[in-house]
Amino acid sequence: MPFRIIFLCLAFAMTLHATESICSADFSESGVLQSKMEIRRLIISTEVNSNDINQQIRWAKGSGCLYLLQVTATQIRVMNLNTGNYVLKKKYDANFEQLANTLQHPEFVERKEEAIEENYEKTEKIFKSRFAFNAYLLPDSPEGANGWSYKAGIVMNYPIRDNIFFAPELNFVARYISYVNNNDTYRTRIADFGISIPAMFKIMPFGGPWFYLEGGAQLELVATNYDSATNYDSRTPVDFGLAYGLGWQLSDGELAVGFRGISGLNDFDNIHGKPLTIELALGWTSLKVTALTALIFVSATILRL
């Protein structure tokens, strides 16, 4: 009797594996790939929009698929619909015999040389460019001093474990603050230029790959210029604060949008208290956009001076 139960369980497990399905929107060679699939079943739809990832996910889950195959002119990706993570990501090629073998492997393992290429691609995308616009608030300022700033730099997303990343950043900062003294006798304009070094941790609470929460600390080293009717030399040269926020990864991480708050732990100077920063940021992997952002950042800083 025990052997019969074990045999039935094994048969049931083999049946589940044999009927494991991959869904995909229709593409030019989908029929060729479908004919080569034996262990996993490939389900093709001609009605699903190949450019709408959310529609594809809804259709695939509704069709009982465990995985979603996405084929574009440049890339082939397979998403685990239970976790939202990609179990396979590689550059597009027309070797569908090899692709069929990879899709039917239990761990989606490729040949050694292809795995090296995939790892190189992932390493290449660890680094992202980042641009942010900030509202810079001094809630305890007696003169109501406030300002704005912008940052441009790079961020590294280093995976610690599933859905958790360490994301240090290196940013160049330009900040402008102005206020009128209590007697309305003179105006002070302060310009900060420096380096911002946030050390952030990101977590994807719903399995990813889109929504994330983040938290960490930020160190800023600043040099200050000022234009005032009186001497001004009390600006703190080092700022330290706690950072926290949330964001969305779009286009498989190619583009990210984030909101962040930074609560200062030290005083801005000997008058205005601790700062609070509210930040809207964009991140991307495109080198062309990075070069354009750097040009805008330098031009805006020069014009401001």
pLDDT digits (tens, 9 = 90+) for 99-117: 888 888 877 776 544 443 4
* The pLDDT of residue 245 is above 90: yes
Q: How confident is the model at residue 144 (pLDDT cuts 50, 70, 90)?
A: confident
- Strands in 75-80's sheet, in edge-to-edge order, are 41-45, 21-25, 67-71, 75-80, 86-91
Class of residue 77 by CB neighbours under 10 A (exposed 0-12, middle 13-18, buried 19+): middle
Sequence ranges of the chain with CATH classification 2.40.160.20: 125-304
Task: Report the residue count for the chain.
Answer: 305
CATH of 125-304, one of 3.40.50.880, 3.10.20.30, 2.40.160.20, 2.60.120.40: 2.40.160.20
* Residue 249 to residue 67: CA distance in whole angstroms: 20
Tokens at 163, concatenated: 């859905």
| Tens-digit pLDDT profile for residues 155-212 | 887 888 778 889 899 999 988 887 776 666 566 778 888 899 999 999 988 766 678 8
pLDDT computed for residue 68 by the predictor: 92
CATH code of the domain occupying 2-123? 3.40.50.800
- Sign for the CA dihedral angle at 64, 210, 213, 259 comes to negative
Confidence (pTM): 0.54
Per the model's pLDDT, the better-predicted residue between 207 and 62 turns out to be 62
Sequence ranges of the chain with CATH classification 3.40.50.800: 2-123
Per the model's pLDDT, the better-predicted residue between 276 and 162 turns out to be 276
Per the model's pLDDT, the better-predicted residue between 59 and 119 turns out to be 59
Nearest residue to 276 (alpha-carbon basis) of 135, 109, 68, 158: 135
The count of other CB atoms within 10 Å of the CB of residue 47 is: 8
Parallel, antiparallel, or unpaired: how do β-strands 164-180 and 158-161 relate? antiparallel
Structure-derived torsion over alpha carbons of residues 87, 89, 95, 100, reported in degrees to the nearest 10: 10
- Average pLDDT value for the chain: 77
pLDDT computed for residue 263 by the predictor: 94
Per the model's pLDDT, the better-predicted residue between 46 and 109 turns out to be 46
Flag the least confident range among 37-51, 118-132, 137-151, 195-209. 118-132
* Residue 176 to residue 146: CA distance in whole angstroms: 9
* Residue 194 to residue 293: CA distance in whole angstroms: 17
Q: How many CA atoms lie within 13 A of 97 on its CB side?
A: 0
The backbone region for 37, taken as left when phi is positive above 0, alpha when psi lies in -120 to 50, beta otherwise, is: beta
